[in-house]
Amino acid sequence: MSASSASNHYQCPALFLSAPASGQGKTTVTAIIARWLRNQGIRVRLFKTGPDYLDPQILQQASGQPVEQLDIWMCGEDYCRQRLALAAAENDLILIEGAMGMFDGDPSSADLAALFNLPVAVIMDVSGMAQTAAAVVNGLARQRADVQVAGLIANRCGSQYHAELIRNALPADIPLLFSLLRDERIRLPERHLGLVQASEIEQELEALFEQGAELLADVDASAFMQLAPTVDFSFNDTSGNSELTIPQPLSGKTIAIARDQAFSFIYSANTELLQTLGAQLVYFSPLSDREIPAADALWLPGGYPELHAQKLQDNHSMIESLQQFHQQHKPILAECGGFLYCLQQLTTLDGQSYDMAGLLQGQSHMRERGGCQGMQAAQLASGEIRGHSHHRSMASDLPEPVSYARRSRHPAPGEALYQHNGLTAGYLHLFFPANPQAAASLFLPSPQNS
């Protein structure tokens, strides 16, 4: 890391980690690399491409540092530049994990890598192939002239001979960076929306990270670091969300945020922004606490209420506290899982129905597949806030929505948005820094939110 004479211009080695498809082990390999380097005293800062809550939890535990999301559409180019530059100022290496396949989505992982001129290390599960892996990575490398492939990381190799077959088939300009032998001890557990939350399996993850780091014992860390070229990161003084450029409309306001095993889909960028806007944050658990702490506004984020429906239903004192909060017409933002908690009833995959808080008319039903997904922007009276949708449930018997979200690349209406007595609710997960002033309005009383 190094800084120029300008306070907002920094240099740091950086590398992008992508794959030909989902399910290749990107998060596992990225986490193992982070722990391996961390164990050698190298300060690594990780970022995750796209609107992801679960992978960053894993990566944060592996690296010991906060993990933020980067997305050109949802976050904006200026925001991405600012966060990368600030990370470059304090770290020895920046690693960015891609999303889905390298060229999937619009914008894609390749778009983000090209924007910052970052070389890409391709992670590939080679368990069902040998020389064909070389053909696949060669095709990825030749797809776009503005994307440079630094080499291949062969995941789940069957043997050293298997790795050599791949190494010998690769073109001269695409080296095999290293291989990881197939080992079930370093496989991350999953559930219906992705990986299991890090907070639920902390000890298992520690064992996985250390076992994975041992598999890289023979890899030269200094040689790996040399794969990451020094990149210039800079941002304009007026870009991003500097405290110097944002007024504090939430000054003197306390926002209570639900945070436990049922409600955990919280961008660190969102909480950081709320504090920058002047808010004081307090946290509570709808699962175990008896009441909401004293607050002016409330945020019920997404998560897994369906996995804890019985406990949520049985915490009558918390439901009464939430209902009283709502009856006072105090601002409440309920996103996805928080939205389900605010409805009258939730039916799980096994057909069992549970009573929820009943702040809003309607029921929800969990489904094995389906559900709206993708980047969308909420249409609020105070402005547009970008975010994303990803769920496996369907809500029905709802009141008339006040608006529908705008999809990033499709003309069809997006998720419905509901407002009632200070409550703003829907499936959309919002990224507050996309529009700080509109985000602040969600936690302030207003004619539109009453």
Residue 278 has pLDDT above 70, yes or no: yes
Spatial neighbors of 170 by CB under 8 A, at least 6 apart, are 134, 137, 138, 152, 176
pLDDT category, 239, cuts 50, 70, 90?
Answer: very low
pLDDT, averaged across the chain: 91
Structure tokens at 142: 């030749």
Domain 254-449 sits in CATH 3.40.50.880: yes
Q: And the tokens for 395?
A: 């809500």
* DSSP type of residue 196: P
**CA dist 408 to 260, 375, 388, Å?**
31, 6, 9
pLDDT in tens, 73-114: 999 999 999 999 999 999 999 999 999 999 999 999 999 999
Mean pLDDT of 162-191: 88
Given pLDDT bands bounded at 50, 70 and 90, which one contains residue 428?
very high
CA dihedral 287, 288, 292, 293 (to 10 degrees): -140
pLDDT band (50, 70, 90) for residue 1: low
Mean pLDDT of 135-142: 98
More confident residue, 242 or 170: 170
pLDDT > 90 in the chain, percent: 78
Within a 13 Å sphere around the CA of 76, how many CA atoms are in the beta-carbon half? Answer: 16
Is 336 catalytic? The answer is yes
Fold of 2-234: Rossmann fold (3.40.50)
Of 157, 336, 342, 372, which residue is the catalytic one?
Answer: 336
Of 186 and 415, the one with more pLDDT: 415
Please give the average per-residue pLDDT across 167-172, as a whole number. Answer: 97
pLDDT at position 237: 60
Q: 74-78, 119-123, 218-222, 393-397: which range is least confident on average?
A: 218-222
> Is pLDDT above 90 for 159?
yes
Domain definitions of the chain by residue range: 2-234, 254-449
Tokens 């797809």 locate to 143
**Burial of 92 per CB tally in 10 Å (0-12, 13-18, 19+):** middle
Residue with tokens 């020389």: 131
Residue 351 in this model has a pLDDT that exceeds 70: yes
pLDDT class for 423, splitting at 50, 70, 90? very high
- 156's tokens: 């789940």
Classify residue 393 by burial, with Cβ atoms within 10 Å: 0-12, 13-18, 19+.
Answer: buried
Q: Which residues contact 435 (CB under 8 A, 6 or more apart)?
A: 383, 384, 385, 386
Query: How does residue 187 score in pLDDT terms, banded at 50, 70 and 90?
Result: confident
- Predicted local confidence at residue 236, as pLDDT: 76
Q: What is the mean pLDDT of residues 253-282?
A: 97
Q: What percent of the chain has pLDDT over 70?
A: 92
**Pure H helices in 92-155:** 109-115, 131-143
Is 254-449 the same fold as 2-234?
A: yes
Query: From start to end of 276-315, where are the E strands?
Result: 280-284, 297-300, 302-303
Cβ distance 97 to 46 under 8 Å?
A: yes
Cα–Cα distance measured from residue 105 to residue 140, given in angstroms and rounded to the nearest whole number: 15
Q: Is a pLDDT exceeding 70 seen at residue 27?
A: yes
Tell whether the model's pLDDT for residue 192 goes beyond 60.
no
Q: What is the mean pLDDT of residues 262-271?
A: 95
Q: How confident is the model at residue 188 (pLDDT cuts 50, 70, 90)?
A: confident
User: Which tens digit of pLDDT belongs to each residue from 31-74?
Assistant: 999 999 999 999 999 999 999 888 899 999 999 999 999 999 99
